[in-house]
Amino acid sequence: MIVRPDIQARLDALDEMLAHWLSHTRHPAQFWPQFELLAAEILDLCDDHERRYVHARITAILKGHALELPSWHERGDSPSPEK
């Protein structure tokens, strides 16, 4: 498990690359699988007590880029190919 400063650094890096990444994504459907993979890597490194904080921070990062988690994410579903 990693400690809070390491978590912060990884979240900051994710936040910093989002603007560049979004400007080069051809379609929003390409963004979510990649973003989820990176976010999941951070969450997988966290202790259970850090997960709520990390999830809230990820939500805030997305909001800062005028994005929000898709409804299928909140239900725990996977995106279907047509979404």
Residues 26-70: pLDDT tens digits?
A: 887 788 888 889 999 999 988 888 999 999 999 999 999 999 877
List the Cα angle 15/19/22 in 5-degree steps. Answer: 115
Per-residue model confidence (pLDDT) at position 3:
81
pLDDT at 22 over 70: yes
pTM of the full predicted structure?
0.76
**Per-residue pLDDT at 1 exceeds 70:** no
Pick from 40, 55, 54, 60: nearest CA to 3: 54
pLDDT value, residue 80: 43
Torsion, CA 42, CA 35, CA 8, CA 24, rounded to 10: 150
Check residue 81 and give left, alpha or beta (phi > 0: left; psi -120 to 50: alpha): alpha
